[in-house]
Amino acid sequence: CSKVQEAGEYNTKMHPMWQGPLVVPGGDRQSPIDIVVRKSVFDSELKPLLTNYDPRTCQQIWNNGYSFLVEYDDTADKSTLEGGPLQDKFRLCQFHFHWGESNAWGSEHTLDRRLFPAELHLVHWNSNKYSLFEEAVMEENGLAVIGVFLKVGKRHEGLQKLVDALPAIRHKGSVVEFTKFDPACLLPTNTDDYWTYHGSLTTPPLTESVTWIVMKQHIEVSHDQLAVFRSLLFTSAEEEIQRSMVNNFRVQQPLCGRTVRSSFS
Ligand SMILES: CCOC(=O)CCc1ccc(S(N)(=O)=O)cc1
Ligand SMILES: [Zn+2]
């Protein structure tokens, strides 16, 4: 399988984050992918997801120059994910989004090549086996990321608190305190139906350490809420040329014979 990023990754390759080695050691379980729905395999052993998030562990929101991240205190098993395809307990460390410059594209995963305007990633690490995220990120069973597609429609009331905080972190490197936010409000009502496969981080270090759990049901956000995402900047306040934070997604990667399992038939 391709061990070097697709030539078409112009957007992401041009972004400073992508400078450096684009060859991924191994490189046969990269993410994101196109989920071909009719080729996914129903697995009756897959359990419902069990999320137990404590809003009191929410700490800050910041612009890392590629997306914005809401970070959680992951020094104890206070906000956790288990069940689904997972054998262990995983600790929530952050969530972030990927989006486009237009509503026509922006998601990282696709469903039968269908693009969504944005995609939410809730990032967890295996606290049964490892003691730090930085350790788990290098291990095959180290991470679990829940992916949720966003569609443009009615305003998402739970998201608005986060949207209202974005103007304060417009530039790369800015951070503000952000507390008492329950990420469960961003999950779809149905979390029993999902696809799962073994993949990687979609940004450097691109390590193949992620059990992906992609929700079948999307959430709706308003056009105006997405427009505020696009008002963020890739660049720091000191830089001469300001660049809008849009199209911060990676192109789909080769499946390389992997099976995508579904929790529903
Ligand atoms: C060793 C430090 O590694 C990191 O900070 C990786 C952070 C990171 C977390 C999640 C993702 S995603 N888009 O695949 O959900 C990409 C990168
Ligand atoms: Zn992501």
Question: For 182-201, how does the pLDDT look when each residue is reduced to its tens digit (9 = 90+)?
Answer: 999 999 999 999 999 999 99
Is the beta carbon of 145 within 6 A of some atom in ligand 1? yes
Contacts of 4 (CB under 8 A, 6+ apart): 22, 23, 24, 27
H-only helix segments in the chain: 10-14, 133-136, 157-165, 223-229
In whole numbers, what is the pLDDT of the chain averaged over residues?
94
Q: What angle do CA 198, 127, 161 make, to 5 degrees?
A: 85
46: number of Cβ within 10 Å: 20
What's the CA-to-centroid distance between 199 and ligand 2, angstroms? 12
Residue type, 37: V
Select from 24, 31, 203, 207 the residue to mutate for testing ligand 1; criterion: most ligand atoms less than 8 Å from CB. 203
pTM of the model: 0.95
Is the beta carbon of 140 within 6 A of some atom in ligand 1? no
Q: Is the pLDDT of residue 25 over 70?
A: no
Q: Is ipTM > 0.90 here? A: yes
Buried-exposed string 119-154: b where 16+ CB fall within 10 A, e elsewhere: bbbbbbbbbeebeebeebbeeebbbbbbbbbbeeee
Percentage of the chain with pLDDT > 90?
90
What's the CA-to-centroid distance between 265 and ligand 1, angstroms? 31
What's the CA-to-centroid distance between 202 and ligand 2, angstroms? 6
Is the beta carbon of 146 within 6 A of some atom in ligand 1? no
The atom number, within ligand 1, closest to the CA of 138 reads 1
Q: What is the pLDDT of residue 76?
A: 98
What's the CA-to-centroid distance between 96 and ligand 2, angstroms? 6
Select from 139, 201, 209 the residue to mutate for testing ligand 1; criterion: most ligand atoms less than 8 Å from CB. 201
Is the beta carbon of 136 within 6 A of some atom in ligand 1? no
